[in-house]
Amino acid sequence: MHTLRPRRAGRLSVLAVLVGGALALAACSSSPSSSSSPSSGGSSGSSGGGSSTAGQLSQLSKKLSGAQGATFKATYSATYTGTTTTMTVAQAPPKSYFSSAGATIVDNGTTTYYCPSTPNPQCFNATTENPLSGLVAAFSPKQAMSELQSAQAAVASHLAGYTVSFSTATFAGQPSSCVSTRTSAVQWKYCVTDNGQLAYSSTGPQQVFQMTSFSTNVSSSDFSLPSGASVMTLPTTPS
pLDDT digits (tens, 9 = 90+) for 174-199: 999 999 988 877 789 999 999 999 99
Q: Where are the domains of the chain?
A: 11-233
Q: What is the DSSP string of 42-55?
A: S-EEEES--HHHHH
Asked if the model's pLDDT at residue 33 lies above 70, the reply is: no
Give the pLDDT score at 239.
52
H helix runs in the chain, sequence order: 11-25, 51-66, 141-156
Lowest model confidence (mean pLDDT) among 127-131, 174-178, 219-223: 127-131
- In the predicted model, what is the mean pLDDT of residues 99-106? 82
pTM for the full model?
0.72
Quick one: 11-233 is in which CATH superfamily?
Answer: Lipoprotein localisation LolA/LolB/LppX (2.50.20.10)
Cα(99)–Cα(63) distance, integer angstroms: 25
Q: Nearest CA to 87 among 194, 197, 212, 198?
A: 212
Residue 81's CB: how many other CB atoms inside 10 A? 11
Mean per-residue pLDDT over the chain, rounded: 74
Give the pLDDT score at 127.
57
Q: Nearest CA to 104 among 90, 84, 94?
A: 90
Collapse the DSSP code of 1 into the 3-class scheme (helix H, G, I; strand E, B; otherwise coil) and give the result: coil
Give the pLDDT score at 213.
97
Give the pLDDT score at 218.
94
- In the predicted model, what is the mean pLDDT of residues 228-234? 84
Give the pLDDT score at 125.
84
What digits encode the pLDDT tens for the residues 66-89? Answer: 888 899 999 999 887 778 889 899
Give the pLDDT score at 236.
59
DSSP assigned state of 222: G
Give the pLDDT score at 98.
86
Give the pLDDT score at 238.
55
List, in order, residues 6 or more apart from 6 with CB less than 8 Å away.
none
Collapse the DSSP code of 127 into the 3-class scheme (helix H, G, I; strand E, B; otherwise coil) and give the result: coil
Beta-bridge partner residues of 88: 75, 99
Give the pLDDT score at 219.
92
Lowest model confidence (mean pLDDT) among 45-49, 166-170, 175-179, 212-216: 45-49
In percent, how much of the chain has pLDDT > 90?
Answer: 27
